[in-house]
């Protein structure tokens, strides 16, 4: 693996230091394509959390912890944090589990040896495999500080990292310093649970106390990025308060003086006894009743809204300014049954709530019953979203009483909630007639559940519906037939229909197609991943041609070939509003590419055509090249908003055909962009 020499530059607050430079060798090319579960090569590059740990090491608090300490870095990769720590600590052990990475680490130590405070045998580079049982006995309980950055990337790695770090920590007094980037909620939860199981005290160091919103290299940090100090409970007299950066308060700008709307974002660490005072100082006193508070409680990362925090928050909702809360969103708070504690306080502002969202909050049946109590008082609620919660059928049934009382509700989003047909039937009976958006995507509905929704449509309960999302439910061909009988006739205002991944096959789409022309306002139609073939195009194509407002058509990840594409395009030219066509992941081949190329100039409204991963080769590329080589028409101008043609992951587009296509676009069609798969690997930068 080829390497490049780089310098990482950080700003130090220490007197007289200014910029701190760490020299290193890293992989010249990104290694992800060759990295596997059995051979992890991600350590050959730097990752996104690394600068966070480095900035902390250079801070006054970091230096205080590391000065004269024995330090171990686990999963060091190219070793930048460890090399910085080596400037103040007395003993340094830098480790990784990949032999090639370990060899690179040794070279990086040599590049920075002159800057080290420790020397000789006090600096070691070793191959260490994670796991308490695998940890070298000679290193057990031998270090004061364990460093890690971007080392937790799966549920299992959370446990193995902490077990390994705990095995290395001195007794008493050892500290784990972990820079963490949240990417997947299940990994956040695994880290949170592992910290609790191992009886570690967690302190979240506010990022603003040692760095700016961006790292020294200019990278913006994802929401929930954190620097954790972990200690054994028995080493801590008083468990550290999990604190975060100050509340984010932004005033929305309006042209009138009638209302004052504030967007407030807090984390669990902000929920303390003085939260009211801090919010009041940031928002001001409401003397005229104009204030509206839109509150987001974002616990993204390995933190949670505990029952103690829920009790504090419940009290805060009873008094200004949060008694004026009109929008509330909880994200990854894992409150679960803690809703029983939060709800009593929320009842005081329930009649003002217009939006209520709980995203990834572990809401089961008991929590759903508490939310139902709240909904009974939400007379002005317009948006209810309970996303990614284990409601199940019983939880869905539990909220129906409150749901039916929400007489102003416009949007209902219950995606990823494990709701089956029984829960769908109960919800369908509770739909308020004001509903305009219904999202039951990625649940466990079958055609039986769709039939209950269809019956609600027949009863004119959903006559105002404009957005329907049932994607990710295995409704089959029968589900498509159920919808085909009612859409358009009973839901005349429908604008967006998402049925991706519903297993409808060609038969179901054929039945559905018969209702599409009656949906005169249809703008977005998603029918991807349904196992549909060419035969579905016979009914769908003429139906689409009669949708005079259709802008976005997705047929991605089906089994459409060139034959079906020719059927589609013959009618598609009559769809005078279409801007986006997504057919990636089919089997169009060169014949299908030729069909699309044949109509490009005629469909002047097009902006994006995605034909990625379609077995298109040189003949298909030439078909597009020939189209783009034609003299540009003066009036009317083709694609006035520009056209993007995606042909990525079609590896047979090579050689002269590829060059001809690229030249045709470059020379004669400046408003066209063609995206092809790169023929060279991307140079290494910071990873995800």
List for the chain the helix, strand, coil content (%; round to 5): 35, 20, 45
CA dihedral 183, 184, 188, 191 (to 10 degrees): -90
Q: pLDDT at position 635, please?
A: 46
- Whether residue 683 is predicted with pLDDT greater than 50 in this model: the reply is no
Q: pLDDT at position 633, please?
A: 44
DSSP 166: H
CA atoms within 13 A on the CB side of 688: 9
Q: What whole-number distance in Å separates Cα of residue 66 and Cα of residue 57?
A: 8
Q: What whole-number distance in Å separates Cα of residue 144 and Cα of residue 154?
A: 26
Q: pLDDT at position 32, please?
A: 60
- Whether residue 256 is predicted with pLDDT greater than 90 in this model: the reply is no
Q: Report which of 363, 453, 458, 357 is spatially closest to residue 412, judged by C-alpha positions.
A: 357
CB 354 within 8 A of CB 327: yes
If one counts every other C-beta atom within 10 angstroms of the C-beta of residue 570, the result is: 16
Q: What whole-number distance in Å separates Cα of residue 94 and Cα of residue 78?
A: 10
Q: How distant is the alpha carbon of residue 533 from its chain centre?
A: 31
Cβ-based neighbours of 12, under 8 Å, separated by 6 or more: 18, 19, 20, 58
Q: pLDDT at position 417, please?
A: 98
pLDDT level of residue 252 (50, 70, 90 thresholds): confident
pLDDT level of residue 287 (50, 70, 90 thresholds): low
Strand partners, 560: none
Strand partners, 251: 262
- Whether residue 194 is predicted with pLDDT greater than 90 in this model: the reply is yes
Q: What whole-number distance in Å separates Cα of residue 298 and Cα of residue 329?
A: 8
Q: pLDDT at position 668, please?
A: 76
- Describe the crossing of helices 618-629 and 655-668 by its angle, rounded to 10 degrees: 20
> pLDDT tens, 384-418?
999 999 999 999 999 999 999 999 999 999 999 99
Q: pLDDT at position 217, please?
A: 59
Q: How far is CA 573 from CA 111, 535, 552, 580, 606, in A?
A: 63, 19, 14, 13, 11
Q: pLDDT at position 685, please?
A: 44
- Whether residue 15 is predicted with pLDDT greater than 90 in this model: the reply is no
Q: What whole-number distance in Å separates Cα of residue 446 and Cα of residue 435?
A: 22
Average pLDDT (110-114) is 93
Residue-wise burial string across 247-278, b where 16 or more C-beta atoms lie within 10 A, e elsewhere: bebeeeeeeeeeebbbebbbbbbbbeeebbee
Q: What whole-number distance in Å separates Cα of residue 323 and Cα of residue 346?
A: 8
Q: How distant is the alpha carbon of residue 659 from its chain centre?
A: 36
Average pLDDT (174-187) is 96
Q: Report which of 59, 55, 44, 56 is spatially closest to residue 1, judged by C-alpha positions.
A: 44
Cβ-based neighbours of 57, under 8 Å, separated by 6 or more: 63, 66, 81, 84, 85, 147
In whole numbers, what is the pLDDT of the chain averaged over residues? 91
If one counts every other C-beta atom within 10 angstroms of the C-beta of residue 17, the result is: 12
Residue-wise burial string across 513-539, b where 16 or more C-beta atoms lie within 10 A, e elsewhere: bbbbbbbeebbbbbbbbbbbbbbbbeb
- Whether residue 532 is predicted with pLDDT greater than 80 in this model: the reply is yes
Q: Provide the H-helix boundaries in 149-298.
A: 155-168, 185-197, 275-283
* Structural domain spans, the chain: 3-235
Average pLDDT (238-262) is 70
- Whether residue 308 is predicted with pLDDT greater than 70 in this model: the reply is yes
Determine which of 1-5, 318-322, 528-532 has the lowest per-residue pLDDT on average: 1-5
Query: What are 308's two structure tokens?
Result: 């103690």
* Fold of the 3-235 domain: Rossmann fold (3.40.50)
- Describe the crossing of helices 476-486 and 505-513 by its angle, rounded to 10 degrees: 0
Query: What are 61's two structure tokens?
Result: 């608090």
- Whether residue 470 is predicted with pLDDT greater than 60 in this model: the reply is yes
Q: pLDDT at position 12, please?
A: 78
Q: pLDDT at position 515, please?
A: 95
pTM confidence score: 0.91
> pLDDT tens, 22-73?
999 998 876 665 656 566 777 888 889 999 999 999 999 999 999 999 999 9
> pLDDT tens, 155-169?
999 999 999 999 999
């Amino acid at each position: 693996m080829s390497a490049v020499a780089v310098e990482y530059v950080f700003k130090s607050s220490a007197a007289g230091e200014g910029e701190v430079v760490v020299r290193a060798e890293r992989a010249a090319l990104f290694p992800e394509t060759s990295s596997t579960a059995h051979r992890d090569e991600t350590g050959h590059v730097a990752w996104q959390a690394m600068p966070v740990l480095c900035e902390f090491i250079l801070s006054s608090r970091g230096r205080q912890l590391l000065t004269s300490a024995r330090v171990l870095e686990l999963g060091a990769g190219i070793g930048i944090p460890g090399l910085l720590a080596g400037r103040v600590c007395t003993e340094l052990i830098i480790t990784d589990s990949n032999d090639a990475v370990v060899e690179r680490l040794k070279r990086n130590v040599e590049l920075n040896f002159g800057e080290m405070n420790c020397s000789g045998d006090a600096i070691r580079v070793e191959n260490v495999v994670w796991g308490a049982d695998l940890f070298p006995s000679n290193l057990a309980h031998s270090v004061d500080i364990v460093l890690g950055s971007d080392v937790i990337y799966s549920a299992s790695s959370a446990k193995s990292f902490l077990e390994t770090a705990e095995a290395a920590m001195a007794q008493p007094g050892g500290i784990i310093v972990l820079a963490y980037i949240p990417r997947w909620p299940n990994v956040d939860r695994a880290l949170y649970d592992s910290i609790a199981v191992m009886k570690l005290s967690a302190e979240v160091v506010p990022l603003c106390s040692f760095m700016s919103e961006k790292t020294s290299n200019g990278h913006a940090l994802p929401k929930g990025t954190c620097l954790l100090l972990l200690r054994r409970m028995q080493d801590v007299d008083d468990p550290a308060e999990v604190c975060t950066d100050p509340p984010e308060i932004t005033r929305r700008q309006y042209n009138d003086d009638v209302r004052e709307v504030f967007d407030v974002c807090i984390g669990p660490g902000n929920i303390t006894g003085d939260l009211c005072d801090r919010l009041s100082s940031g928002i001001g006193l409401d003397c005229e009743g104009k204030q509206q508070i839109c509150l987001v409680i974002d616990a993204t990362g390995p933190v949670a809204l505990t029952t103690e925090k829920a009790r504090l928050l419940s009290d805060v909702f009873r008094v200004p300014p949060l008694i004026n809360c009109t929008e509330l969103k909880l994200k990854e708070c894992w409150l679960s049954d803690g809703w029983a504690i939060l709800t009593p306080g929320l009842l005081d502002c329930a009649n003002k709530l217009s939006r209520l969202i709980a995203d990834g909050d572990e809401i089961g049946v008991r929590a759903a019953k508490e939310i139902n109590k709240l909904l009974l008082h939400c007379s002005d609620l317009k948006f209810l979203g309970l996303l990614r919660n284990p409601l199940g059928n019983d939880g869905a049934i539990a909220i129906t009483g409150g749901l039916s009382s929400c007489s102003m509700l416009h949007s209902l989003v219950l995606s990823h909630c494990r709701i089956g047909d029984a829960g769908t039937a109960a919800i369908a009976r509770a739909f308020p007639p004001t509903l305009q958006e219904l999202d039951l995507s990625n649940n466990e509905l079958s055609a039986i559940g769709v039939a209950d929704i269809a019956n609600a449509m027949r009863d004119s309960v959903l006559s105002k519906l404009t957005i329907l999302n049932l994607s990710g439910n295995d409704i089959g061909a029968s589900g498509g037939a159920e919808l085909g009988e009612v859409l358009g006739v009973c839901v005349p205002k429908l604008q967006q229909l998402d049925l991706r991944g519903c297993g409808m096959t060609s038969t179901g789409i054929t039945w559905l197609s018969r209702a599409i022309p009656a949906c005169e306002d249809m703008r977005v139609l998603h029918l991807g991943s349904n196992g549909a073939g060419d035969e579905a195009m016979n009914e769908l194509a003429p139906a689409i041609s009669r949708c005079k407002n259709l802008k976005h058509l997705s047929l991605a990840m089906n089994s459409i070939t060139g034959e079906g594409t020719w059927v589609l395009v013959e009618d598609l030219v009559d769809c005078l509003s279409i801007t986006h066509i997504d057919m990636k992941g089919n089997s169009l081949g060169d014949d299908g590419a030729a069909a699309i190329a044949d109509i490009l100039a005629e469909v002047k409204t097009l902006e994006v055509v995605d034909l990625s991963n379609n077995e298109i080769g040189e003949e298909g590329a030439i078909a597009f090249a020939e189209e783009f080589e034609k003299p540009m028409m003066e009036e009317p101008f083709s694609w006035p908003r520009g056209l993007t043609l995606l042909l990525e992951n079609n590896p047979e587009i090579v050689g002269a055909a590829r060059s001809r296509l690229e030249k045709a676009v470059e020379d004669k069609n400046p408003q066209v962009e063609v995206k092809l798969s790169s023929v060279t690997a991307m140079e290494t930068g910071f990873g995800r």
